[in-house]
A and B are shown apart, each in its own frame.
Chain A
Amino acid sequence: MNQRNAIISKGADSLLVCLYIILVCIGILSIFATSYKEGDNVVQGFLSFKTDYSKQFYFFIISGILATFVLITDSKFFTATANLSYAVGIFLMLLVFPFHSDIKGTKSIIKLGGFNLQPAEMCKLFVNLALAKYLSRIETDFKKTKSQLIAAAIAIAPAVLSIAQSEMGLALVYFSFFLVMFREGLPAAILVVGFSLGALVVATLVVPLNTLAFVLTVIAAATIYFMRRQIKRRREVLVTIMAIWVVCVSVQRFAVPFAFKHALKSYQVERIYSMLGKDVPEEYVRGNTADEDPAKASKKKEAGDYNVKQSKIAIGSGGLYGKGLLSGTQTRNGFVPEQHTDFIFCTIGEGFGFIGSMVLLGIYFLLIMRIVTIAERQRSVFSRCYAYGVASVIFFHITINICMTIGLAPVIGIPLPFLSYGGTALLTFTMLLFILIRLDADRQMVLR
Chain B
Amino acid sequence: MSVFNQSRSTIIRLIFLGVFIIIIGQLINLQLFSDKYKQLAMNNALFAKVIYPDRGIIYDRKGKAILNNTIMYDLVVTPSQVKNVDTTALCYLLGIDTTEFKQRMIEAIFKNTRFRPSVFEGLLRSDLYAKLDENIWKFPGFDLVERPVRKYPFNAAAHILGYIGEADSSVIRRYGGFYRMGDYIGRSGLEQSYEEILRGQRGVKYIIKDNKNRLQGSFEKGENDTAAIAGRGLRTSIDIELQQLAEKLMTDKVGAVVAIEPKTGGIIAMVSGPNFNPNDLTGPDKQKNYASLALNVSAPLLNRAIKGQYPAGSTYKPLGALIGLNEGVITQNSGYDCHGVYTVCPHPVKCDEKIAGHAANLRLAIAHSCNSFFSQTLKLTIDNPQYHSARRGLTKWKEYVNAFGLGHRIGVDLPSEDGGNIPDTTAYDKEYRGQWNSCTMVGGGLGIGQDKMSVTPLQMANAICIVANKGYFYTPHFVEKIDGGSTEDTLLNRFSRKHEVLTHISDDAYETVISGMQDVVEIGTARIARIPGIDMCAKTGTAQNRLVVLGKAIDLPNNSMFVCFAPRENPKIVIAVVVQNAGYGSKWAAPIGSLLVEKYLNDTLRAERIKEADVISHSNLMPTYLKRVQYHEDSLRAALWARQTGDSTRWFKYVSPSFRAMQLDTSRRTDNKIPDDKKIFMIKPKTNNTIPQKDSVRH
Contact = CB atoms under 8 A, between A and B. Distances in A.
Contacts of A329: 41-42, 44-46, 208, 219
- Which of B17, B45, B212 is the most central at the interface, judged by chain A CB atoms within 10 Å of its CB? B45
Nearest to A135: B1
Interface string B205-222: 000111110001101100
Contact of A399 (B2, B5, B19): B19
Contacts of A353: 31
Nearest to B45: A329
A354 B16 contact: no
Interface residues of A, number: 50
Looking at chain A's contact residues, the main secondary structure is helix
A372 B15 CA distance: 12
B44 A316 contact: no
Interface in B1-46: 1-2, 4-6, 8-9, 11-13, 15-17, 19-20, 22-24, 26-28, 30-32, 34, 36-38, 40-42, 44-46
Contacts of B30: 312, 315-316, 349, 406
Contact of B31 (A184, A310, A318, A368): A318
Interface string A323-363: 00001011011110000000000000110011001100100
Contacts of B31: 315-316, 318-320, 349, 353-354, 357
Contacts of A354: 27-28, 31-32
B44 A330 contact: yes
A358 B24 contact: yes
Contact of A313 (B15, B17, B41, B208): B41
Interface in B181-235: 208-212, 216-217, 219-220
A320 B41 contact: no
A38 interface: yes
Contacts of B37: 312-313, 315-317
B12 A182 contact: yes
Contact of B211 (A335, A350, A375): A335
A300 to B, nearest CB: 18
Looking at chain B's contact residues, the main secondary structure is helix
Nearest to B1: A185
A381 B20 contact: no
A238 interface: no
B24 A361 contact: yes
Nearest to B23: A402
Given A333-B209, A333-B216, A316 B34 contact: yes
A314 interface: yes
Contact of A372 (B2, B13, B210): B13
A329 B17 CA distance: 32
A361 B45 contact: no
A408 interface: yes
Given A365-B16, A369-B16, A408-B22, A330 B45 contact: yes
A314 B41 contact: yes
Interface of B: 1-2, 4-6, 8-9, 11-13, 15-17, 19-20, 22-24, 26-28, 30-32, 34, 36-38, 40-42, 44-46, 208-212, 216-217, 219-220
13 contacts: A182-B8, A316-B34, A316-B36, A317-B41, A318-B31, A319-B31, A329-B41, A334-B212, A349-B30, A353-B31, A354-B32, A403-B26, A408-B22
Interface of A: 38, 142, 179, 182-185, 188, 310, 312-320, 327, 329-330, 332-335, 349-350, 353-354, 357-358, 361, 364-365, 368-369, 372, 375-376, 381, 384, 388, 391, 395, 399, 402-403, 406-408
Given A184-B1, A365-B16, A406-B30, 7 more contacts: A315-B37, A349-B31, A353-B31, A361-B20, A399-B23, A402-B23, A403-B26
